[in-house]
Amino acid sequence: MKTLPTIGFIAILAMPFLAEVVSSSWVRLWRFHGADWLLYALLAAISVTFWCACATLVAASRRRAIVAVPVALLLGVVVGAHAVFFAQYSSVITAGYIEEGYRHGFDARRTIAEQRWMILAWVGLPALLSYGLLLVARPMTWLRTIRNRWKAAWLGAGLCALPFLPDNPAKPVDIQMEHSVMRFAWHRVTGRDDPRKMADAPYVPPARGNRIHVLFILSESLRFDSYCNDPSAPCEVTPETNRVMHDRVPLYQMRSNDSFTIMSTAVLTTGLPILASRQELEAAPNLFELARAAGRHTEYLGSHKIKYLFLRTANIDQVVTFSDLSNDDDYEYADEDLARLATRRIAQLGSDPWFVMLQFGDTHSPYSVDPGLAPFRPYERDFSWDGTPKLFNQYRNAVYRQDAIIGGMLDRLRSSGALDDAIVLFTSDHGEAFREHTQLYHGGSVHEEEVHVPAWIWAASSVRAQLGPAWARLADASSAPWTHLDVVPTVLDAMGVLDEPAWRGITTKLWGTSMLRGRTRPRAIPIGNCNDLLACAFKNWGVMQGLVKIEAREWDGYWNCWDLSTGKNEPPLLSMSDPACQELLVEARKLYPTLPNGRPF
């Protein structure tokens, strides 16, 4: 039994690696590449020496029972927070996630209060275990000969170096978490990335246009394969909108440029690509300002919980957000309230032209379901790997419920005549992954399930008559490859102001083309989830041109090149030597210095 204290000592050093095992996060290790392994091994050695220094300092202390408390607590937090976070997001905690939580006003105290029992269990148990181990642990003799001041110096140096480690998450969980927290703190202290620095909106000259009303409906996390796209095909998931808007033009090949709400909203309201700088995005006139300058009353009504809307709301005539609809952050039925409000408001708007954007949010995880309207069974908020089919049903039921709400709203608006002079655009900010490529939710990749989104355009018969051949061109381009970059030009075109000479300086900067002008030769556009607005949790990016895409995630050794023409979530993989892929490679070299894994290409 003499070896027991030594075993206890080694067990303390093994705690962060135990966290990998209990949270199943060790599976991510298999996605590492050569350099990642090297980094992980190096940092694992640092982790071991770090806890070694802590444990020997505790063992050498005369007040062992007291000194052991902060060390045990730190170990408990490292193991527990990692496990809880990984179970929910299939990701390690990164500085990007903390940054985003901060920007969106995420209140950690509230979450801690609500989930106190789970957190207590996940943090408390490893903390108690560590505390017990620290009391009995006895370091090996040779360790005890190292002077305490050297150990303390080592701990200090380690803490100071943490914010400057590379962002690559190939780190043991303890180093990864400490790095993320320190990195975030470092950014706040140095004032880098301050979201409050907003540019003033530039002057937009008034323009002449038509009197067509524009209703832009943006949904959340809708995948192309979880929506009824073809109006004539049997419809399971979204029957209500399918029925009410049966005379719509479906857009079968619409893609978002990213899979985060905040980035998509930026693209959809500025018409600028994801790689535009924060300053460019914030200085560009947005759709509301342009619509207002084109003589329209403007409204943004949203039930989305996102706090940072990427909209200069001061220039919108009427703004309603989630916090106006409910005081309860966990309220799950705001879509219903939004639809009721929108029906009332739009009916009151009258004949002066308007531009209204509605942003629905209940299809965001954890997917709000109405048990009375849930045809997909069994369903459950089961975020485990094995529970994915049930979670997917939960999601589809949420889509079904939201469709009943949006379809019902459109039905009332159409039958009341409120849309008689209107054009309606519908799309989703991005798709949603259900572990098709191992990841859950969105923002983790630009694979098809995350970026191929449903979209359609509907216009009242009077509007079709006004648009004339433009409407026929849109219908002909139903299967053409479009992206969210094409929305701003299309809306401006529908308002009759896309060719406004006074706006040349603005419209020539738009990357997309109007869908009302038919099929055009698509240009190569950057796609991905890392930009100036968003420090990405997982590095992933690529280039898309028409129906060919190259992309990579940070654990991919090289680009993958995909043929998107099938519209499937697992499209055929092309050889990189294919001329279309080679063309995108040339474009990628202009856009990105390295692959997401940090290597040159």
Q: Which positions lie near Zn ion, rule CB under 5 A?
A: 220, 261, 429
Query: Could you tell me the two tokens for 219?
Result: 């949904």
Identity of the residue, 242 or 264, whose beta carbon is nearer to Zn ion in the bound complex: 264
Which two tokens mark 66?
């007291």
Cβ nearer to Zn ion, comparing 220 with 337: 220
Closer Cβ to Zn ion, 32 or 310, answer by number: 310
DSSP secondary structure code for residue 250 in this structure: E
Residue 34 CA to chain centroid, in angstroms?
28
Nearest residue (CB) to Zn ion, 36 versus 429:
429
- Within 13 A of 101's CA, how many CA atoms are on the CB side? 16
Q: In what order do the strands lie in the sheet with 254-255?
A: 452-453, 254-255, 482-483
CB 278 within 8 A of CB 533: yes
Nearer to Zn ion, 413 or 451 (CB): 451
Q: Which residue's Cβ has the minimum distance to Zn ion?
A: 261
Within 416-502, where are the H helices?
448-451, 461-467, 469-476, 487-494
**525 three-state secondary structure:** strand
- Whichever of 179 and 223 has its CB closer to Zn ion, that residue is 223
**Residue number, 53 or 406, with CB nearest to Zn ion:** 406
Contact 130, 15 (CB under 8 A): yes
Beta bridge partners of 440: 434
Measured CA to CA, the distance from residue 583 to residue 549 in angstroms comes to 10
214-239 in b/e form (b: 16+ CB < 10 A) is: bbbbbbbbbbbebbbbebeeebebbb
d(CA 282, CA 277): 9
Question: Which pair of structure tokens corresponds to residue 317?
Answer: 């005539």
Q: Which of 139/528 has CB closer to Zn ion?
A: 528
Q: Are strands 297-302 and 354-359 parallel, antiparallel or unpaired?
A: parallel
Strands 422-428 and 213-219, bridge-based pairing: parallel
